[in-house]
Chains A and B, each alone.
Chain A
Amino acid sequence: MTATQTSPRVLMEGSEALARAAIVAGCRFFAGYPMTPFTEVLEHFAKLLPDAGGVCINAESELEAVGMTWGALSTGARAATGSTGQGLSLMQESFSEITLAELPLVVFNMARGQQDYYQATRGGGHGDYRHIVLAPQDVTEGVELVQLAFHLADKWRNPSLVYGDYLIAHTQEALSIEPISFPDLPAKDWAVDGTLSGSGESRAVTPLGVSKFGQRALGQEGKAQYIATKLPLMEREVRVETGFVDDAETIVVAFGSPAKFVKYAINQLRAAGHRIGYIRPITLWPFPYETITDAAKGARVRRIGSFELSAGQMIDDVRIGAAGQVPVQFIGGVSTDHSGFGVGRILDVDVIRERLLALHEDRALPVIPGYEVNSYTLEPHQAEATR
């Protein structure tokens, strides 16, 4: 997919860029509830959508926001909702069911860190489902991935989630929002608009396995089987960026805006002669397992590190990818500012470089600020496992 730059670049914050990218992709409905650091995305949609002939509703709760978006999607419109992780927690039942209803929902998670990885990739909702998860490393990539999210959601009739964060939301970059042209997609004849009411062939958009009288119904089991067999087919949409893996002794896996810091640090270390490479998943689901498996086979590879701003979630997928070939070590940690929202003390090139070097040289990792003071103390009654 390519975008050619035709209009002048304008300095704008990430929240505005993502909203504009969505509108350029044809999004005509947005509903959301304010929550830091997502709030500005809602503000920009509220300002921009009416002029684009769309509707933005300030929903009274996250649950109603996703419901309104569900309704808009059912009419065939491109529609999105979003929040930060906590708000998305409220929407999980609807996410599961929207996936069963095969609606092309786009969700923005302007996360407070990287600890929503499980929520995004495993899903906090019930049942077997997956959302395609796209994790931009900066605003520029965010503008591309938002447009890709709408295309993939329509292509597969499956929700796509854009995993942004506080940094992307509030960083200003000079951009022009150019529409990317994608391959054509079939018309949405499944959408409801009232015109087939009374015809005997009226349509239903439903997560249930029932159908209109006279049409074939999958039943609940059949519907679940249908979705279960659809999920692996979407794995072909995997996207990943790699660097310096061919001769690497150490490989670091990182996603999102922290990955950009990691790459910068790795470039510095390479210049000093250290053979460190990186793998940056761009889709968190489908996860680039094969890329990691292949990289781990490298003749020189001794270790893989997973750098994430969390207690360690993506590391599970890194371990699956490594398939036991080399040890996988967690080199990230919980790091936000004091309010819990934003960038933390380890999101710093110098700090990251020290951690990468420690991993590379098999030394103990520097302690993450706060961990010593804030660490949990095992209680006596917890010392022994209960059998």
Chain B
Amino acid sequence: MTTTTPPPGPVLDTAHAPSVAARMVEAKKPDLLLTQEHHMCPGCGEPVAIRQFLETITQLDAVERAIGVAGIGCYTSFSGTMDVDLVQALHGRAPSVATGVKRMLPDALVFTLQGDGDMVNEGLQEVIHTAARGENVTCILLNNGVFGETGGHMTATTVLGQRTKNSIDGRDAEYHGYPILIGDLIAQLQGAAYVARGSVHNAGSVARTQKMFKRAFESQLAGEGFSFVEVLTMCPTGWFIPTAEGPDYMTETLGEVHIMGELKVDGKVHTTDELHAQNVQKQREVEEALAQGGLEKDHQRPI
């Protein structure tokens, strides 16, 4: 939650750019966003993810060949504010539309932008067939484990125990069945060249996710086949929690099942179970280092 005792010192002027010599290291918004304004809820992870792939397109110098295909969900409003040539598809149907675009314009950088309800519910066959065919497009999945736009309902990626408006006591395997780990399904397909799962619950995972976008787009530009980046995003509204609890809720629910990592890269498949084991190992190493007083996290040192 918010800090109750503020850090030492005065509140600094943040209304103006610095008056002493300084260089900007991070602009306010990506070049490819026409406006910073949007109607996403406070604490929504979707704009955080969208920023990363838009910046990646600019970094890869692929702007003038970028074409987006948007699905239907909260993120759909970004169809109008992303400064890319765009085709609006129906719920679940972006991958087939992206296929038609890319087949006609093989040199374009074609990406889809879809939510979990869109891609893993309505459009499951579309993304699987597109991946199986090895279409040279990049499908981007914003996965918050709910249908956000309709108010927080269960999707095929909702995890067991997660409470939604139609699994009010928590998703129950016997009644509601099990979640689909879509990244794993796609990684098994021969046509899929790069499959990764990122997250935006903290700065480190955001940075890691940007690298995944870069590798995915590079894979498309190199004609390697289908690329896929899933990004776990917070949805405090659909999760019925205060915004500040979003990241912790994510790591405790979605993040426990849909594990971050590269599921397919350089021809090798890594299952979610393998990634989980790697994460458990990394966490053990961090805890051991902390126990030995080794991890320095506080940069605020007296002179």
Interface residues of A (CB under 8 A from B): 28-29, 31, 55, 57, 59-61, 63-75, 77, 79, 93-94, 97, 101, 192-200, 202-208, 210-214, 217
Enumerate 28 A-B pairs (CB-CB under 8 Å) in ascending A order: A28-B104, A29-B103, A55-B103, A57-B103, A61-B125, A63-B126, A64-B99, A65-B96, A67-B99, A67-B126, A68-B103, A71-B103, A79-B100, A79-B104, A94-B93, A101-B88, A192-B101, A194-B84, A194-B109, A195-B85, A197-B32, A197-B65, A198-B83, A198-B84, A202-B83, A203-B86, A208-B76, A208-B88
Given contacts A57-B99, A69-B100, A202-B84, is CB(A193)–CB(B93) below 8 Å?
no
- The CA-CA distance from A140 to B85 in the complex, in Å, is 40
A211: B residues at CB distance < 8 A? 80
Assess whether B63 is in contact with A197, with CB atoms less than 8 Å apart: yes
Given contacts A67-B126, A94-B93, is CB(A193)–CB(B85) below 8 Å?
yes
- The CA-CA distance from A354 to B103 in the complex, in Å, is 53
B99: A residues at CB distance < 8 A? 57, 64, 67-68, 71
Interface residues of B (CB under 8 A from A): 31-32, 34-35, 58, 63-67, 69, 76-77, 79-90, 93, 95-105, 108-109, 125-126, 129
Assess whether B66 is in contact with A194, with CB atoms less than 8 Å apart: yes
Contact of B34 among A73, A77, A213 (CB under 8 A): A213
Assess whether A212 is in contact with B103, with CB atoms less than 8 Å apart: no
Beyond known contacts A67-B89, A204-B80: 18 more, CB 8 A cutoff: A29-B104, A61-B129, A64-B129, A67-B96, A68-B97, A68-B99, A68-B100, A70-B100, A72-B101, A74-B87, A75-B101, A192-B67, A196-B85, A197-B32, A198-B66, A202-B84, A206-B88, A212-B81
Q: How far is the CB of A68 from chain B (nearest CB, A)?
A: 4
Contact of A193 among B34, B103, B105 (CB under 8 A): B105
Q: How far is the CB of B155 from chain A (nearest CB, A)?
A: 19
Given contacts A64-B126, A97-B90, is CB(A197)–CB(B66) below 8 Å?
yes
Q: How far is the CB of B53 from chain A (nearest CB, A)?
A: 13
Contact of A198 among B63, B76, B87, B108 (CB under 8 A): B63
A197: B residues at CB distance < 8 A? 32, 63-67, 83-85
Q: How far is the CB of B206 from chain A (nearest CB, A)?
A: 23
Q: How far is the CB of B54 from chain A (nearest CB, A)?
A: 10
Q: How far is the CB of B95 from chain A (nearest CB, A)?
A: 8
Q: How far is the CB of A71 from chain B (nearest CB, A)?
A: 2
A97: B residues at CB distance < 8 A? 90
- The CA-CA distance from A61 to B126 in the complex, in Å, is 9
A65: B residues at CB distance < 8 A? 96
Q: How far is the CB of B190 from chain A (nearest CB, A)?
A: 15
B97: A residues at CB distance < 8 A? 67-68, 70-71, 74
Assess whether B101 is in contact with A71, with CB atoms less than 8 Å apart: yes
Assess whether A214 is in contact with B100, with CB atoms less than 8 Å apart: no
- The CA-CA distance from A200 to B32 in the complex, in Å, is 8
- The CA-CA distance from A29 to B1 in the complex, in Å, is 55
A212: B residues at CB distance < 8 A? 34, 80-81, 83, 86
Contact of B69 among A71, A94, A202 (CB under 8 A): A71
Assess whether A31 is in contact with B100, with CB atoms less than 8 Å apart: yes
Given contacts A63-B93, A94-B93, A204-B79, is CB(A72)–CB(B35) below 8 Å?
no
- The CA-CA distance from A207 to B91 in the complex, in Å, is 12
Assess whether B87 is in contact with A205, with CB atoms less than 8 Å apart: yes
A70: B residues at CB distance < 8 A? 87, 89, 93, 96-97, 100
Which 3 A-B pairs have CB atoms at the shortest separation, nearest pair first?
A: A71-B100, A67-B96, A206-B88
A203: B residues at CB distance < 8 A? 85-86
Given contacts A67-B89, A94-B90, A212-B80, is CB(A198)–CB(B64) below 8 Å?
yes
